[in-house]
Each structure stands twice: as structure tokens, then as C-alpha cells.
Chain A
Amino acid sequence: MTKIESETGNVVPGSLNQVAVTTRYTFLDYLRSRRFAILMILMLVISAILTFVFAYRRPASALVDPLAFYSTWWGMSATFVVILSGIFFGGDAISSEFQNRTGYFVLPNPVRRSSVYVGKYVAALIAASIVLIIFTLITVSNGLYYFGFNIPGVFWESAFFDWVYLLAVLGFAFFVSSLFKSGSYSILVNAIFLLFAFSLIEGLVAGLVNIEPWFVLTYGAGIVGNVLMSTYPAHYIPAPTTGPGARFAIPSYNATIPEGLVILVAYFIFTAILGLYLFERKEFNA
């Protein structure tokens, strides 16, 4: 590979090195940011509420065995923590380079935009992973209190799926962020999609037109909670045609584990490619 050297002998580092440099300083920026503190507080509040509810209300169905405990605790909240992390760290990751004018500081240097994009993504992934790891530790600590070291193997599977979901959510958030030059718009659109729109589309497509919503991110993320169920739910559950409420019943779909993983990984890959392409093309004009 040809080295790029200036008259003063400085050798411009390779792109991978520049990814690492971007990651380092973006992560430092995240760690010191108010949003990191707010996300930590939100996650701790969620954990505290769950701890309180389990300790004082002792829900029988959730404390019948370890699987039920982890299914209730983790299955209900793990994807929400991922979504919050995606919105907080990815929501305006790229658009802020335009709105806050930080792009004018970094990009007129011998560094590829792709290095900046990937570096920022990795920094966001590390920051969000820290939040997720702390949430996992709090979950496991509660589990240890109720059931000792009897942690079901599928919990670790679920934790892994949740992390893959984090990859996809951040990929999606970065992609949306690269569509805009305004941080507020990109955060808003990300929040709408990740908190409401995906679930709404999933429900409408499956329930009203009876099509499997394989193209919806949250459909793939269903494997995070489903894997913790005592019996993995059927791929297709038709609407009952008789009995009370049959008139209003709708069919539902559940992604199988391979299908869910493919959806999450596909979202990560496609949104990463699209986001990178958009960032490469986007111009810094006022």
C-alpha cells in the first residue's frame, strides 16, 4: 500500500487507524455527554422499578422458576433499553456533524468520511453496550437473589440476540441520521420508528392483511423475548374463527430464531451500507 507522506514527514494513518481514532474521541465525547448520564439514569430507574415490583409484589407467575423470572424481567425490558440506546447514541450521530458544524472541523482533513462514520458507529456501539451490560448485570443480580446460580442457558442466548438487535437498531438510527442535517428531525424520526411505527406496521401487516412482517425490524427482535418462553411460540397463529371475540381476533406471526437473526443482521448490513452511501454523498452546504 502507498504511504501518504507530507513534506514534514507526517505519514497519514490508514483508514482502520483513523476509525480507531474517531472511535476513541467520539466515545470520550459520549462518556462526558449529558445524554449518556440521562440514559444511565433511565436504565437505572427501569431496573429500580423492576427490582421494587419483584421484591414487594412477588408476582407468582414470574417467580415460579428461573425461566419465568428471566422471561418476565428481561423479556419485557431488554429491547426497550436497546431502543433507548439507539435513539440516544445514534439518533443524531451523523446529522449533528452538519447541524453542530463538527464536520467542518474533522472532514477537511486527510480522513475518509467512511472512517468517521464507522468510528462513530463503533463508539456508539461501545457506549450502548456498556448500558446494556450494566442492565444485564442488574437482571442477573436479581436472578441470583431469587434463584441462585440457576441461570437458564437461553437467557444468554436472549442476551446475545438483544446485542445483535442493538447492532441493527444503531445501524438503522445512523441511517436515519444520515438522511437529515437537523439533529432534532433525525432523533424524532428515529424515536417514532423505533418506539411506535415499526410495531404499528408489524401489527397492521400481520393482523389486517395477514402477511408475515419479515421486513419489520421489531418483528425480528421478537426472538429476544420468545426464546425465553417455556415453549417457543408457533411461527403462525391463525385468528380463532369461533368462540367469544372471534369477530375481532387477528392472526399473528412469530419469527423463528434463524429468521429473526437474518432480519436483524440484514437490517444492520443494509442500513450501514445505505447510511454510509448517504454520508459520502451529503454535502456541507449551508
Chain B
Amino acid sequence: MAEVVPGPSIEAVNLSKSFGSFAAVSNLNLKLEGPKCVGFLGPNGAGKTTTLKLFTDLIRPTAGHALINGADVHKAKKTALAHVGSVIETPEIYSSLTPREGLMLICAHRGVPKSERKRKIEEVVEEVKMSEWIDKRTGRFSKGMKQRINVASSLLGDPSVLLLDEPTTGLDPRGMSEVREIVKGLKTRNRLIFMSSHLLAEVSEVCDEVAMIDHGKLLVYDTLSNVTSMFSKGSSTVEVGLNRPLAAGILERSIASIPGVESAQKMDDRNLRIVFKGGLDAQELLLTELTKMGIGVLSFRPAASALEDVYLNLIKETL
């Protein structure tokens, strides 16, 4: 009988991992459900990579369970990881294989039907802009090229869960941007993405929710908006990108008078920084009002600096 596991979910239940006397992950309880992108933040040695390794059975938990779609990763690895694509640290393909062969190996392990393998591989390789290298041996690839292939491999088999450990590591600015776009694109395809990163701007841009960890302990897990307003006494900050320079007086007359707005300032001709009071409803109202003004709103997102403030506050508090 075929066993089809419903809905993407990741759950850590009292998950702990110690290396000798050092607790890398300590009694972590975290449940992520449904299609979304969750950023996993924390300083070096906080336990991010360890957590992701526990979710891919690269290491064993000292206590607790790592569950993916309800299946225990350590006890039922094949069931749990059947729906998971991952990039943990910076993997290497066997150096004398080409990307096509390395990805064929992964397709075969993941049970992608033979008739679809060639097409799927070419699709994912195209997505990471490595088509011209698909039949070259990986031994001489740069770190960035290898990482692109790793990202491609995580997309094979259309996994419902993606575990990405600093996926933009080793990539040049263009590569970083391309991987971010890939991740954003995956969000629209009903994927649950759990992505660790040091780059707060990256998380702000890509993720819907944020989990912060330090010394192996979960500090906070909430929506990006709620997290960014944690230390702002109920205020949130958004950055608004415009299609054209803002006409004189609009900022002071119109934008500053939108209900809930505490302050509004130009970062440059086409970017604004607005501090407002309230939660998601206030944010929705603000966006609606800005759009009504016809000022050419191109982007609207929680400010990276707001996330940075929260990050620094929380991490400082655990020292």
C-alpha cells in the first residue's frame, strides 16, 4: 500500500545534541507547518547547522526527536527524507562525475521516474544557471559553482520541505541574488523552507517567519513583522521602494499623516523608511494607503535594520 504523507511540517520535540559537555542544541521545541519560508538566525556556534544536521540524520540527537511530516528522521529516515531537499554546509559531488551524473545519482535515490530524470535535471541546472557546465566534471568547479549544483540537487524530486544551511555561502553577489530569487520562487510552490543564514537582509527579503537560536536554545519564533516589532514598543519599521522619486511635500503632508505612522523619512530618492504603530493590520492599512497615493510603490518589506536590532538585543541578552 502506498503511504502518502500529508502537508509539509518540521518539528523539533525536546531536541538536544551535546558534543561531550558542550550542549550544541538544548531542549529545542519548534514546530513549522505549511508552505512558508522560515529564517533560522543565530551567531556562529549557536546550533543552527547542528539543528539542520539533526533534521537530515547527519548526526544523532542526544535526546528528543526531529520530525519531518510526522516521521522521525533518525528512526524512519527514508520516510522522513523522501520529501526533503537540502543543502547542508557545502557538499561535494564525487569529483570525476559531472553535474548530470551527480544529479542522476540523487534522482535515482529519490525515486524520480527514469523517464523524467533528464528533463528534471536540465530544469534545475537551468534554474541555477549552470547549463553550460552540466557535462563537465565537477572536480575543477569553484566553490560557488559547486554550491549552485548543490542548490539544484535540493530541488530534485519537487520536495515539499527544503532545509538550507546558508545556501548563499561561497556565491558571488550575482549568485547570492539568484539563489534568493530561487528560494522566493519556491515559496509560491507550496514549499516549507527552513533556511539558516547570517545575512539579516537576506532573511528579511526572503522569509515570512524567523526563528532565532543561541547557545542551542530557541530565543524567539514568530512572523517577521512580530519579531521586528519586539523591541520597538509596538512599532514596526518598513522599507518602501518606489518606481520614481517622491514628489516634494508628499512625505510630510500625506505619508506622515496616515493613521499609525510615527515617522517617515527618505533613505534616498526612491526609498523610504516608515515607522508605524500596530501589527499586521496596521501594516496592511499602510500599504493600502501608500498604493492609493499613486507614488509608484514597487516593494514593501520589514526593514532589515529592525531585524538587526532585535537580533542584537536578543543575542546580547543571552550572553
Nearest A-chain residue to B97, judged by Cβ:
A29
Per-residue CB contact flags for chain B residues 138-161 toward chain A (1 = under 8 Å, else 0) read 000000000000100100011110
Q: Are A2 and B3 in contact (CB under 8 A)?
A: yes
Q: Which of B50, B56, B79, B112 contacts A4 (CB 8 A)?
A: B79
Cα(A192)–Cα(B113), bound, Å: 45
Q: Give the Cβ gap from B132 to chain A, nearest Cβ, in Å.
A: 21
A230 at the interface (CB under 8 A from B): no
CA distance A102 to B149 in the complex (A): 13
Which of A10, A102, A111 counts the most B-chain CB atoms under 10 A from its CB? A10
Tell yes or no: A60 within 8 A of B by CB.
no
Interface residues of B in 1-18 (CB under 8 A from A): 1-5
B77 within 8 A of A: yes
**Quick one: which of A181-200 are within 8 Å of B by CB?**
none
The residues of A that contact B158 with a CB separation of less than 8 Å are 6-8, 10
Judging by beta carbons under 8 Å apart, are A8 and B157 in contact? Answer: yes
| Given A107-B58, A112-B78, also A7-B92 (CB < 8 A) | no
The minimal Cβ–Cβ distance linking A184 to chain B, given in whole angstroms, is 16
Interface size of B by Cβ–Cβ distance < 8 Å? 51
A26 to chain B, nearest CB (A): 7
Rounded to whole Å, the gap between the CB of A3 and the closest CB of chain B is: 5
Determine, out of B80-88, B172-180, B242-250, the stretch whose residues face the partner at the interface. Answer: B80-88
Q: Does B31 lie at the interface of the complex (its beta carbon under 8 Å from any beta carbon of A)?
A: no
Q: Which residue of B lies closest to A283 (CB)?
A: B59
Q: Are B2 and A284 in contact (CB under 8 A)?
A: no
A102 and B96 contact, CB distance less than 8 A: no
Contact A285-B53, Cβ < 8 Å, known A4-B3, A6-B159: yes
CB-CB contacts of A160-177 with B at 8 A, as 1s and 0s?
000000000000000000
Any chain A CB within 8 A of the CB of B230? no
The answer to whether A111 touches B89 (Cβ under 8 A) is: no
Are A106 and B82 neighbours in the complex by a CB distance under 8 Å? no
Cα distance, A108 to B96, chains bound together (Å)? 21
Interface pair B58/A110, CB less than 8 Å apart:
no
Q: Closest CB-CB distance, B239 to chain A, in whole Å?
A: 35
Determine if A3 and B58 form an interchain contact, defined as CB atoms under 8 angstroms apart: no
Q: How far apart are the CA atoms of A26 and B158 in the complex, in Å?
A: 25
From 1 to 30 in chain A, residues with beta carbon under 8 angstroms from any chain B beta carbon are 2-8, 10-13, 17-18, 21-22, 25-26, 28-29
Cβ contact within 8 Å between B106 and A109: yes
Docked complex Cα distance between A22 and B111 (Å): 13
For chain B, residues 28 to 56, give those with C-beta under 8 angstroms from any C-beta of chain A.
50, 53, 56
Q: Are B105 and A106 in contact (CB under 8 A)?
A: yes
Q: Out of B60, B81, B92, B160, name the residue touching A105 (CB < 8 Å).
A: B92
Q: What's the Cα separation between A21 and B108 when bound, in Å? A: 7
Q: In the complex, what residues of B have CB within 8 A of residue A10's CB? A: 82, 110-113, 157-158
Query: Is A101 located at the chain interface by the 8 A CB criterion?
Result: yes
Asked if A21 meets B92 with Cβ closer than 8 Å, knowing A5-B4, A111-B78, A283-B60, the reply is no
With contacts A105-B93, A283-B58, A284-B59 known, is A110 near B88, CB below 8 A? Answer: no
User: Contacts of B80 on A, CB cut-off 8 Å?
Assistant: 110
Given contacts A4-B82, A104-B89, contact A11 B111 (CB under 8 A): yes
Which residue from B2, B57, B83, B113 sits with its C-beta under 8 Å from A108?
B57
List of 4 A-B pairs having minimum Cβ-Cβ separation, nearest first: A104-B91, A108-B56, A105-B91, A32-B96
Contact residues of B with A, CB < 8 Å?
A: 1-5, 19, 50, 53, 56-60, 77-84, 86, 88-97, 101-102, 104-106, 108-113, 137, 150, 153, 157-160, 163
Residue pairs across A and B with Cβ atoms less than 8 A apart, 10 shown, are A6-B82, A10-B82, A10-B158, A21-B105, A104-B88, A104-B89, A104-B90, A108-B56, A110-B81, A283-B59
